[in-house]
Structure 1
């Protein structure tokens, strides 16, 4: 069993338990763990992939699909907070894809910054929305990431 990694941050606010459990479910690759965190009609949105899953079965399938594509997918929590029935976590998404959909993996790993926003109901997740830059993920693993590339690189900014 893997635990959620929590990076050292200047925040003195403890990471909310629901976020620790969410990260643990991802790090364990467990659709069963993940779906148990949600209300019966819970929704999981991944805006990078423009996809949405509703209900325990579909949310569990989303985790299974992700783990089949990225077997070592993991969440590293940077910081998080909760206020009433809302919570937010800033995290890093890591992994080495075997494939992304029909596209074979390139043998390169990724590490992208992400934010997730949670709506809670009676201690369970009613809705979570993940936000991260898919173009950045694709660039890191060597896949085309769009038609536009900046005319400068990081070396020119020094």
Structure 2
């Protein structure tokens, strides 16, 4: 199969990879530019937040407590380009205590994760993130640091 960027599936794959490349560079504005104004963001084991402004606030909260890089990223896109899924491994450091979570002391963690995307008008209209919270809690527990 020839992948030349002209198929909707290719463009969706490129969009999601661009989103993660911006994440790994800490380029929050670059990430936000790829989102629809009314983006739906489903937090892992949490509520849905709606809108680019809410997503920007989420990025600020995350940046205050965590330093993360995503590796081994694999993206699968539907033929029509309207949906995508990504699998990755998070390599992170817990820098500042996040509300309701154990105290941060620079703990490092490696955690598999994934996300589902909905694409509309060449923008990310929904991103739903998933990872194993219990695994993360074990890795950052005070007796593991």
RMSD: 2.2
User: Which is helix-richer, 1 or 2?
Assistant: 2
- Name the TM-score, length of structure 2 as normaliser: 0.79
Instruction: Answer whether contact 2:113 2:129 (CA < 8 A) is retained.
Output: yes
Gaps (5+ residues) in structure 1?
A: 1-12, 145-158
- Name the TM-score, length of structure 1 as normaliser: 0.73
Runs of 4+ in 1 over 2 A off after TM superposition: 28-31
Q: Deviation of residue 123 (structure 1)?
A: 0.9
Aligned residue number for residue 106 of structure 1: 105
Aligned residue number for residue 28 of structure 1: 25
Q: Deviation of residue 78 (structure 1)?
A: 3.2
In 2, the alpha carbon distance for the partners of 1:92 and 1:115 equals 8
Instruction: Answer whether contact 1:80 1:89 (CA < 8 A) is retained.
Output: yes
Report matched runs for 1:1-150 at 5 Å: 16-48=13-45, 50-70=46-66, 72-83=67-78, 84=80, 85-102=82-99, 103-142=102-141
Q: Deviation of residue 143 (structure 1)?
A: 5.3
